[in-house]
């Protein structure tokens, strides 16, 4: 996919075993039409050779300020950059940036740059959690550098925990949002966020089901941004595409609406923010056959498929809050995938739905052939319940990637006031 305007992107690479993932990151940017300059530390070249980075970027690679002195590379690269992303960033590099060092080409480039900078760290959990590193990360953030929360999972060797490098496509897509102007504020540390994602499947027999086209991308994008704001994120995922796990998120996999309801009932009481982005089947087959329905033999059952209404999970969660079994301050967000009908626009139907469901915000998007489900872009209108449920406050969600839509929705939640630290 080509971006609207191609940009000068610097990919900084520090000396960690995850340096190999930087190759995919470089590829990702060049495939979007960006010009990429790779600036590794000398330690990074112990893991990936300069020739690989030169071939992938089509640009020369240097680690020191003493190469290309006539071109004044140590300031020119930083001055010309539209965005810098460092992946992986080690504890040592983060410390050097925090103390304003300029003892190699990468740190000098960062010191010169005035463009958005993203730092994706990779290190052992102990190093990441060490107060020295955390203080350095806080310093970088206070200067407007976006330090991404690392993934949790397998690290080099046998151990596993926080400190794993995010997947290259996660780093690239988050970086693009930052290069487009998002600051990804780290304001939700200590907050607990529950997100439902994907589409439920309702069994008809052991091989067939009633389902829908939801891929789970929007729910995962919301989880990604909530995690990058520092929240503790739980996702209840129904039949989602193979999507990378947002940093530190816990995933509970479910299949049907009733499975989802049980998981939500169990996890909702601990949450500060609950976002129901899943497409839940309103009905399920009344009878679920134990054995595969046979052509010829069971035709009568297939001809008149009896359905039973599923529980409305969003309504249930609102009731739980009304009855005092949730945090009374919990913010509840619903989604309305509407097509509109002969009498009402999609938005009019969503206004009625907000009042009916009783949630605090409702994200309304128009769906239909080729729109939203499984597509990279989304847009719509966010309705915020005010004094009069029939006249909610309306905020346009401008068209963009699902991450961009997630950023706009989470910013609106912040705007409610009682959610900010
Ligand atoms: O009623 P409708 O399906 O249009 O409502 C959409 C919103 O309600 C979404 O937030 C969805 O996750 C939620 N929902 C639910 N349980 C259902 C149906 C929808 O929680 N049975």
Which string of DSSP letters, residue by residue, matches 204-248? SSSS-EE-----SHHHHHHHHHHHHTT-EEEEEEES--S-PPPTT
> Is the CB of 367 within 6 Å of ligand 1?
no
CB count, 10 Å around CB of 187? 14
Would you say 411 is a known binding-site residue? no
212 is annotated as an active-site residue = yes
Per residue in 303-332, pLDDT (tens digit) is 788 999 999 999 999 999 999 999 999 999
Would you say 313 is a known binding-site residue? yes
Stated pTM of the model: 0.94
Would you say 311 is a known binding-site residue? yes
Answer whether 260's CB lies under 8 Å from 278's CB. Answer: yes
Per residue in 176-197, pLDDT (tens digit) is 999 999 999 999 999 999 999 9
Strands (E), 59-141: 83-89, 117-121
49 bridge partner residues = none
Cα distance between residue 109 and residue 187, in whole Å: 28
Catalytic residue among 136, 212, 239, 310: 212
Cα distance between residue 133 and residue 102, in whole Å: 19
Ligand 1 atom closest to the Cα of residue 313 is 20
Question: Phi and psi dihedrals of 275, rounded to 5?
Answer: -120, 115
Answer whether 185's CB lies under 8 Å from 193's CB. Answer: no
Rounded to the nearest whole angstrom, what is the distance from the C-alpha of residue 184 to the centroid of ligand 1?
Answer: 28
> Is the CB of 257 within 6 Å of ligand 1?
yes
> Is the CB of 258 within 6 Å of ligand 1?
no
- For residue 293, which of 396, 174, 391, 206 has the smallest C-alpha distance? 206
Per residue in 199-234, pLDDT (tens digit) is 999 999 999 999 999 999 999 999 999 999 999 999
Report the nearest-CA residue for atom 5 of ligand 1: 336
Where do the domains of the chain lie, and which CATH numbers do they carry? 8-179 (3.40.50.1950), 192-415 (3.40.50.10300)
pLDDT of residue 31: 97
pLDDT of residue 421: 37
Answer whether 178's CB lies under 8 Å from 83's CB. Answer: yes
Is residue 2's pLDDT more than 50?
Answer: no
> Is the CB of 212 within 6 Å of ligand 1?
no
pLDDT of residue 372: 62
Report the nearest-CA residue for atom 6 of ligand 1: 336
Among positive and negative, which fits the CA dihedral 45, 174, 219, 421?
positive
- Model confidence at 419, pLDDT cuts 50, 70, 90, reads very low
> Is the CB of 298 within 6 Å of ligand 1?
no
């Amino acid at each position: 996919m080509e971006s609207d305007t191609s940009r000068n992107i610097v990919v900084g690479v520090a000396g960690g075993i995850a340096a190999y993932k930087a190759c995919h990151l470089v590829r990702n940017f060049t495939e979007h039409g960006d010009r990429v300059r790779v600036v590794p530390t000398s330690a990074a070249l112990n893991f990936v050779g300069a020739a690989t980075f030169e071939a992938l970027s089509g640009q020369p690679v240097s680690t020191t300020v003493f190469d290309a002195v006539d071109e004044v590379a140590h300031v020119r690269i930083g001055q010309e950059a539209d965005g810098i992303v460092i992946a992986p960033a080690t504890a040592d590099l983060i410390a050097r940036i925090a103390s304003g060092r300029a003892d190699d080409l990468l740190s000098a480039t960062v010191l010169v740059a005035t463009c958005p900078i993203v730092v994706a760290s990779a290190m052992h959990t102990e190093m990441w959690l060490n107060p020295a590193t955390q203080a350095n990360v806080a310093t970088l953030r206070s200067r407007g550098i976006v330090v991404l929360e690392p993934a949790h999972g397998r690290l080099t060797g046998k151990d596993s925990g926080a400190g794993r490098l995010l997947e290259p496509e996660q780093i690239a897509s988050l970086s693009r949002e930052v290069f487009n102007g998002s600051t990804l504020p780290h304001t939700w540390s200590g907050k607990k966020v529950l997100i439902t994602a994907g589409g439920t499947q309702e069994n008809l027999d052991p091989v067939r089901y009633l389902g829908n086209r939801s891929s789970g991308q929007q729910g995962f994008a919301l989880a990604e941004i909530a995690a990058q704001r520092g929240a503790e994120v739980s996702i209840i995922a129904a039949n989602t595409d193979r999507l990378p796990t947002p940093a530190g998120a816990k995933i509970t996999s479910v299949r049907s609406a009733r499975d989802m309801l049980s998981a939500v009932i169990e996890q909702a009481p601990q949450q500060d923010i609950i976002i129901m982005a899943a497409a839940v089947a309103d009905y399920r087959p009344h009878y679920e056959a134990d054995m595969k329905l046979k052509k010829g033999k069971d035709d009568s059952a297939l001809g008149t498929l009896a359905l039973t209404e599923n529980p409305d999970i969003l309504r249930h969660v609102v009731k739980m809050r009304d009855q005092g079994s949730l945090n009374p301050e919990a913010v509840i967000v619903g989604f309305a995938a509407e097509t509109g009908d002969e009498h009402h626009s999609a938005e009019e139907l969503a206004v009625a739905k907000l009042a009916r469901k009783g949630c605090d915000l409702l994200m309304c998007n128009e769906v239909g052939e080729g729109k939203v489900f499984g597509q990279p872009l989304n847009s719509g209108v966010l309705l915020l319940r005010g004094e009069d449920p029939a006249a909610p406050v309306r905020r346009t969600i401008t068209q963009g990637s699902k991450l961009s839509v997630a950023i706009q929705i989470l910013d609106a939640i912040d705007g409610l006031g009682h959610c900010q630290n």
